[in-house]
Structure 1
Amino acid sequence: MKARSRPARLGFVGLAATATVAATAWPAAAQTGYYVSGAAGCSDSGPGTQGQPFCTISKAAAVATAGQTVSVEPGTYHEQVTVKNSGTAGSPIVFQAVSPGTVTVTGGTNGFLVSGKSYVTIDGFAVTGTTGVGVKLASSNHLTVTDTTVTYSGQQVKGQNAAGFDLNGVTASTVAANHSDHNSFYGFHVAGSSTGVSLLHNEASFNAEGWQRNANGIDVIAPGNLVVGNILHDNEDSGLQFYTGGDNNVAADNVIYNNGDHGIDDLNVTGGVLTGNTVFHNCTDGINVEGTSGNYTVKNNIAVDNAVYAAYNGIACSRRVGNIGIYDSAPNGTVVDDNVVSLTTSGTMYHWGTTSYPSLAAFHAATGQGTHDIQADPLFVSVTTGSDSSSWNLALTQGSPAIDSADSDAPGEQGVDILGTARLDDPAVANTGLGTRAYDDRGAYEFTG
């Protein structure tokens, strides 16, 4: 820190030339942050400076206050980090890995626990091998978790399953650009009175309980949240689920494929918005709205080859089969339009109420829905079913019917795609879309040529 300049000497009329002014006492500057390192010379009884760092993140978490940053050097830290204090709106408490992905937190019940706190940021960590939830956020607000990976939380044993990220009673918070895979329950779980949570550009994959089909990539059972730009694949249950209590949520620009149940599952929820998602090759319905659900908007999505194979990891894909299925009382107040649908083998293209339809033409004639839907191959870059899904590329190629044909004024429609690309008007394609911009593309990816 730059030293303060000394106060100017003051002169006083009538005093002898030898008189001086007493020195001014300045308060000590507050420490702006703490450092943590497992290297030799660290000490939890030291000052936590870069030259004399703490040995544990927990020590820093116990003393860090508003406006301070905890910088953690690469290494493996065997502990649970419990955040003890809150930041403020202009001065959050920040926990950051000096080099993202090189700091591993392992061996505790949780990797990070934030309960009853506000204005806390966690950035750049790897959490693995916890007996409970990897990152647990509870009864808190204005939290930010970014660029953090959680793997192998809990055990694939009944009663010992644990999610990668769990938010319960969390408000006005952002969870973005994280990875959650190979956990024994949900990748991301949003529950309780959580609202105003944004799940943005995360990836959830290969999450599984192992003894029943129950682990979703993202599971939301709380109202008024935003799920945008996530990649959800190869999970044991659905890629994304909104369950009882998860009303009035928005899911947009997500890419969801190869999951063991639905692509997007909506059960006993109302007022949901499903816009601009790409949903491919899931075990059962690509988009499923059922139970007492209703008043849903299903627009600008691409749904291809869902519910057309027999089983996923030995579990039958025989229930709720179709590309887009609106079941039970869910048709009430629900709008389905501006989607692209396709099946490369015979199957159910749509389900509405109690009736299945093999084609868009049959669906539209019977229900009046899907006026601007298109039944055609969306022309993905690369998909070879039966191959490793990591080789699939669900972006669009030239000539796709999804290009410049979406409704830009659809609820939940984003001004950028999953990659952050602004909506582009392809000069080679007539604008057949609706809304303020007639050139948005359907699905999660904007075609850029």
Structure 2
Amino acid sequence: MRRPAWSLFVVVPLLGAAGLVGSVAPATAAPAPTATTASGTEVYVNQKDCTPDADGTMAEPYCTIGAAAAVAQPGQTVLVHPGDYPETVTFDRSGTVDAPITYRAVNSPDGEVKVGNGFAVTDTVFRLVGVHDVVVQGFFAANWSNASTVVVDRSSRITLDGLAVFNQFQAPALVRLTGGSSDVTVSRTWLRALGEAAGVAVEPGVTRAVITGNALEDARIDVTDAPGTVVTGNTVVNECDVAIRVAGASPGVRLHNNIVQTAGGPEYDPQPCDAPSRATAISVAAGSIAGSTADHNLIGPCTSRRHARRRVRRPPPPCST
């Protein structure tokens, strides 16, 4: 049984046997700040301890992430303290190569930073549009619609790191890289969709994207007409669907050191898929073969999707025939 819970954060990597590689209505906008941002290198957001006329200092933190994003400057780090932030955030201010703008969730044993907050947000939660040199770290982002949860559009030198991204309504993609964006990294992020959806979609015109160290559950990685994409060190667990799909003309793609499982069947009773061609672990279109490499990927065809989260407690059963 699926559990649409905010508390699902960790997917234990599945170590399978080596295999073959086959050929919305927006939420209310955050209010604009009434004072200039703090002049130091750190800007503070604390939904539990703020006032409407805050200035972003530790003593007077902003109430919303959007308020800080509206005034953040190159080289500053926006520190967001634990709490529920039912907002959509558009990052439209840029850093520089040597001084990026960093947005960091200050998660702790006392709580996490949750953005979107269930049914409160039906649009995209994080949107980076026409910006460069921005880092977003550590947030749990969830929305409840067909809109992608995170969108990077016409942007460059963007890092999305250590996020947890969840969507209950089967959006086509949880994280979309689009609009000819370049040099975007998605790393150490947990992504859970609702079956046959892309956890990360690298869309036409995107160049030099890096998808690394992520854990995807009931979701795949899609790369379409996106030259030079690197997909490495990811764990992809879904049920009878392609795990990593490279389509169109995406020459120079590197697919290395990924762990993939696409078996079907109920819990603790893995079964071969009814249509094995739909569950190809890694699919590369003919137009993407030139200059592309695939190596050291581990593919486990006979391990239950749900059992992957429990591997630390008992070994998986043998594959049914």
8 Å Cα contact 2:262/2:305 also seen in 1? no
Note if contact 2:241-2:262 (Cα within 8 Å) is conserved in structure 1. no
Q: How far apart, in 1, do the equivalents of 2:90 and 2:47 lie? A: 18
Q: Match for 2:300 among 280, 287, 294?
A: 280
**Counterpart for residue 31 of structure 2:** none
Please show how residues 195-210 of structure 1 align to structure 2 within 5 Å. 195-207=207-219
Q: Select the residue among 52, 64, 71 that pairs with 1:63.
A: 71
Any stretches of 5+ residues in structure 1 without a counterpart? 1-28, 208-216, 282-304, 306-382, 394-449
CA contact (8 A) 2:89 2:125 kept: yes
The equivalences for 1:58-97 within 5 A come to 58-97=66-105
Report the CA distance between 1:261 and its aligned residue: 1.4
Q: Which residue of 1 aligns with 2:253?
A: 249
Q: Is the 8 A contact 1:110 1:130 kept in 2?
A: no
Offset of 1:183 from its aligned partner?
4.5
* Superimposed CA distance per residue, residues 221-278 of structure 1 (whole angstroms, 9 cap, x where no aligned partner): 1111111100001255211000113222010000001256111011232222111101
Of the three residues 235, 240, 252, the one matched with 2:244 is 240
Give 3-state SS (helix, strand or coil) of 2:251's partner. Answer: coil
Q: Which whole-Å CA distance do the structure 1 matches of 2:43 and 2:239 have between them?
A: 38
| Residue of structure 2 equivalent to 1:180 | 191
Tell me the equivalent position of 2:27: none
Aligned pairs (5 A) from 1:147-158: 147-152=162-167, 155-156=169-170
Could you list the structure 1 runs, at least 4 aligned residues long, displaced by more than 6 angstroms after superposition.
Answer: none
- How many Å separate the matches in 1 of 2:84 and 2:285? 41
8 A contact 2:237–2:305 mirrored in 1: no
Are the counterparts in 2 of residues 115 and 137 from structure 1 also a CA contact under 8 Å? yes
The 2-side partners of 1:71 and 1:104 are apart by 13
Question: 1:163·1:183 contact (CA, 8 Å) conserved in 2?
Answer: no
In the alignment, is the contact (CA less than 8 A) between 2:133 and 2:157 conserved in 1?
yes
- Pick closer, same or farther for the CA change 1:263–1:35 going to 2, 3 Å: same
User: What is the number of equivalent residue pairs in this alignment?
Assistant: 249
Check conservation: 2:51, 2:62, Cα contact below 8 A: yes
Check the 8 A contact 1:164/1:183 in 2, yes or no: no
Q: Which residue does the alignment assign to 1:170? A: 181
Contact 2:74/2:95 (CA < 8 Å) preserved in 1? yes
Q: Does 1:264 align with 2:264?
A: no
Aligned CA distance change for structure 1 residues 82 and 30 (closer, same or farther; 3 Å): same
* Aligned residue type for 2:92: K
Q: Pick one of 118, 123, 143 that aligns with 1:129.
A: 143
Per the alignment, in what secondary structure is the counterpart of residue 198 of structure 2? Answer: coil
TM normalised by structure 2 equals 0.72
**Equivalent pairs: percent with the same residue?**
28
Q: What letter corresponds to residue 77 of structure 1 in structure 2?
A: Y
SS in 2 for 1:227: strand
Q: Could you tell me the TM-score, scaled by structure 1's length? A: 0.52
Provide closer, same or farther for how the CA distance between residues 92 and 391 of structure 1 changes in structure 2, counting only shifts above 3 A.
same
Give the conservation status (yes or no) of the 8 Å contact 1:111–1:130.
no
User: Larger Rg: 1 or 2?
Assistant: 1
- Residue 195 of structure 1: SS of its match in structure 2? coil
Which of 31, 39, 64 is equivalent to 2:48?
39
The aligned amino acid for 1:177 is R
Unaligned runs of 5+ in 2: 1-37, 264-277, 313-321
Q: Per the alignment, do residues 199 and 386 of structure 1 end up closer, same or farther by CA in structure 2, a change over 3 Å counting?
A: closer
Partner amino acid, structure 2, of 1:176? S
Q: What CA deviation, in whole Å up to 9, does each residue of 1:332-381 have, x standing for no partner?
A: xxxxxxxxxxxxxxxxxxxxxxxxxxxxxxxxxxxxxxxxxxxxxxxxxx
Instruction: Return the offset for 1:44.
Output: 4.2
Q: Which has the higher contact order (CA 8 A, sep 6+)?
A: 2
Decide whether aligned partners of structure 1 residues 135 and 46 sit closer, same or farther in structure 2, where only a CA change above 3 A counts: same
